Amino acid sequence: MSEDILLDVKDLKIHFSKKKMFRDPVTVHAVDGVSFAVPKGKTFGIVGESGSGKTTTALGVLRLVPITSGSIELEGTDLTTLEGTDLRDARKRFQMVFQDPYSSLDPRRRVGEIVREPLDLMDIGDPDERDQTVRELFVKVGLRAELTNLFPHQFSGGQRQRVGLARALATKPDLIVCDEPVSALDVAVQAQILNLMRKLQEENGITYLFISHDLGVVQHLCDHVAVMYLGQIVEQADRISLFKNPQHPYTKALLSAVPKVSAYENREERVHLQGDPPSPINLPKGCRFAGRCPQATGRCHETPPLLTEIGSGHLAACHLIA
Ligand SMILES: Nc1ncnc2c1ncn2[C@@H]1O[C@H](COP(=O)(O)OP(=O)(O)O)[C@@H](O)[C@H]1O
Ligand code: SF4
Ligand SMILES: [Mg+2]
């Protein structure tokens, strides 16, 4: 890849120890050896069903959950080992937009204060400058500057997500991690927010790590896409290759469930995804998708496939492909 890499994640593992009544604690393999690189100024999507480890990956990148192993580099700075003031300084460079614009904004605080908070916490500018920055941020995300005195409940869902974006932009971050930022909004509002995100990216050169279970949304915004299944990436490619030429049986199944984005529209080879993924506690020995894969063979149940390059920048983990 000739592009400059902003975020480089290598073999990230995030395991949780879960206590069980009257039994030994078990290990939840929420993220289990994930590697990806996000080019500067681009949008990297992570897609997968609920429970595949998307949110945990996001929280790991933001250093909001303990990392079991692996490395996360932001332009050469290893975020995994930063502590204290170094971590606090690095936090200016990465921010997050959450899924639920209803619960992620403190209902007792005025939206202007909410957007100002990162500037206060990180001591950026004097108080007058911070107020001015907040007004500019409101305008940037398409809200009138007078609205800073209102409370979150006085806004619609879409407007609240604009407030969330203004807050994320306050410290002029290089990277914004968005975890299902439009999933709680209706479709027309989703498109407005996605267009705003693209505009903000063009104006400010922001890089997004964009997490969603919705392939339609991912196709709208992302330059590169990784498909996660049970804590691992099973396929990764640029948007066009992934949507036009999906290779992994799981990606094919996900795509054929969404006719409007599907390469399989009007075709016979629709793959139907049945059942639920196995638990990230008792992992299968071979391919993690084997229990649901229509093409699984004996080998699949025995040996896990490795994520392998199958075309320029196109990776997949499946015995049938590599
Ligand atoms: N703090 C935690 N303790 C134990 N298990 C967790 C914790 N956070 C997430 N998990 C488990 O890790 C797996 C991945 O969760 P998550 O990252 O939220 O997936 P996604 O965002 O793709 O839906 C799930 O099985 C979830 O139950
Ligand atoms: S390795 Fe086997 S079970 Fe896994 S996705 Fe490929 S064909 Fe299906
Ligand atoms: Mg999630």
CATH number at residue 300: 3.40.50.300
For residue 253, the CA-to-ligand 2 centroid distance in Å is 12
pTM: 0.94
- State pLDDT tens for residues 187-223: 999 999 999 999 999 999 999 999 999 999 999 999 9
Domain presence at residue 36: yes
Mutate to test the pocket of ligand 2, among 287, 292, 307 (most ligand atoms within 8 A of CB): 287
Ramachandran bin of 154, using left for φ above 0, alpha for ψ from -120 to 50, beta for the remaining angles = alpha
Binding site membership of 56 for ligand 1 (Cβ less than 6 Å): yes
Domain presence at residue 110: no
Domain presence at residue 48: yes
Containing domain of residue 19, as a range?
A: 5-93+173-316
Domain presence at residue 105: no
Domain presence at residue 183: yes
- State pLDDT tens for residues 172-187: 999 999 999 999 899 9
Domain presence at residue 241: yes
Number of domains in the chain: 1
Domain presence at residue 19: yes
Give the per-residue pLDDT at 322: 67
- Confidence band (pLDDT; 50, 70, 90) for 1? very low
Minimal-distance CA residue to ligand 1 atom 11: 30
Domain presence at residue 154: no
- State pLDDT tens for residues 111-127: 999 999 999 988 889 99
| Partners of 77 in beta bridges | 74
Give the pair of three-digit tokens for residue 104. Answer: 């992620």
